[in-house]
Amino acid sequence: MAFQAVRGFKDVIYPESRLWDLLEERSKEIALSFGFEGIKTPVLENTEVFTRGIGQHTDIVEKEMYTFLDKNNESISLRPEATAGVIRAAIENKLFARKPVQKLFTIGQMFRHERPQKGRLRQFHQINAEVLGTASPIADAEIIALATTILQEFLDENKFKALRLEINSLGCPECRPNHKADLALYLTNNVENLCDDCKRRSETNPLRVFDCKKEGCKKVMQRAPLIKHYLCPGCAEHLGSVLDFLECYDIKFVQNPTLVRGLDYYTKTTFEIVSTSIGAAQSTIAAGGRYDGLISQMGGPDVSGVGMAIGIERLMLLITQDEEIPENKDFMFFVPLGSDSIEYLLPLSKKLREEGYNVKFSFDFKASLKSQLKNADREKARLVFIMGENEVNNKEIIIKDMLNHAQENVSLDNFIQRIRDLAENYNEEY
């Protein structure tokens, strides 16, 4: 019986893996241009990092986390999101003593035991950015600007224009309790029309009922009290400033008064970037918000934070939906005809790689020229370098242009310079 990947876990193979690598590399470059520093945190954390950070009564903690006891009988969990682990790392490594404001960026795997579907896997990957140590609304706008800049880098104009930034404020400990009390009372009076999950949420986390996709619950929530009517002056001013700064960035947005997120730590700003190009279950491409109070709650200083995450699988759906992933065209391919040529060709391949060229070497040195050229063609090589007995005796090499069907003989002494000249003329990336 052949083995298969665990349900909800997916292999990423070429050519998709090439686009995936490009996405990660370019995202890091964009984050660096915004002044973010890289951080890598473990995929395993003590379970309390998430129960305290995300919230005990969230769906993630109650139903979706991969949690188990290790050999020391300690409860550990695979990370379901990045923010809690990044904050734990910032506190443990005393990053706030180095700089009061930390801008941290990471890309990695997350794990949630959900029902697998397209764009929603049990192992998934996120691009994450966090600004820790400031309550400034400029940080909220910059986090959103970073997310939109990354998305714009990889989406064509039509797909990018089809994205919609939805934004809301969830208030703060001063104004949220009044809304929560009125919302809980409203849900109690309408509990018979709620699904079983929302009946539970109405007691433990009433805001989450806004996020239910079932028609009965959506109908109930159409008349539910909205947080926007309860915002204190400070929260209203903060939201207004964020919206003003988004306009400075020329970022279009829609205020969505029913927008909530599935994590307890959000305060004030919360946002989602959604796409109308893919199914509703996968429509959220990026999301985030402010989490004032979370850092102190996890044992750090009493400072604010704001962050965002982009789902790589969701973004890949958009990138590859209507277009083929470009093949990686190997610019050069060495064809040895017999073992005598290998001692000349291997050093040349090493030299070309050192100069930054993309090079492959045929392993079938006993195969015919025709067979090896077919292999080079399958590899989409632009230039093929052939060396047989005659070329060994004459200390030269054949350069074959697979695109133009031209070839020339070049002495070994002039080979590297000739390749430089050809590469410059072709004006290709390798």
Q: Which domain holds residue 68?
A: 16-175+231-320
Nearest of 165, 166, 169, 167 to residue 226 by alpha carbon = 169
Q: Tell me if 426 is assigned to some domain.
A: no
- Render 375-393 in DSSP notation, one character per residue: HHHHTT-SEEEEE-HHHHH
Mean pLDDT over 340-351 rounds to 94
pLDDT tens, position by position, 258-317: 998 766 678 999 999 999 777 655 689 999 999 999 999 999 999 999 999 999 999 998
Type of residue at 268: K
Q: Tell me if 196 is assigned to some domain.
A: no
Domain end, chosen from 269, 298, 320, is at 320
In a shared domain, residues 94 and 149: yes
Nearest of 257, 377, 305, 260 to residue 96 by alpha carbon = 305
Q: Give the whole-number percent of the chain exceeding pLDDT 90.
A: 67
- CATH number of the domain bearing residue 413: 3.40.50.800
State how far the alpha carbon of 4 is from the alpha carbons of 9, 99, 112, in Å. Answer: 10, 47, 19
Residue 236 CA to residue 268 CA, distance in Å, equals: 9
**Please, are residues 183 and 221 in contact by the beta-carbon 8 Å criterion?**
no
Domain end, chosen from 278, 296, 320, is at 320
For 422, the enclosing helix (H) or strand (E) is helix 415-426
pLDDT tens, position by position, 233-262: 999 999 999 999 999 999 999 999 999 876
Mean pLDDT, all residues of the chain: 90
In a shared domain, residues 281 and 358: no
Residue 269 CA to residue 134 CA, distance in Å, equals: 14
The pLDDT of residue 262:
64
Mean pLDDT over 372-380 rounds to 89
Is the model more confident about 346 or about 281? 346
In a shared domain, residues 271 and 386: no
Q: Which residues contact 158 (CB under 8 A, 6 or more apart)?
A: none
In a shared domain, residues 259 and 308: yes
In a shared domain, residues 28 and 118: yes
What tokens appear for 44 in the block? 């395993």
Number of other CB atoms surrounding residue 116 within 10 Å: 14
State how far the alpha carbon of 266 is from the alpha carbons of 203, 269, 340, in Å. Answer: 19, 8, 67
In a shared domain, residues 314 and 340: no
Domain end, chosen from 271, 288, 320, is at 320
In a shared domain, residues 303 and 343: no
What tokens appear for 274 in the block? 């959604």
Identify the weakest region by mean pLDDT among 41-50, 53-62, 307-316. 53-62
In a shared domain, residues 308 and 366: no
Q: Which residues contact 25 (CB under 8 A, 6 or more apart)?
A: none
Total tally of structural domains belonging to the chain: 2
The pLDDT of residue 104:
98
The pLDDT of residue 327:
58
Residue 305 CA to residue 102 CA, distance in Å, equals: 9
User: Edge-to-edge strand order for the sheet containing 267-275?
Assistant: 37-38, 102-111, 123-132, 305-311, 284-290, 267-275, 163-169, 254-255
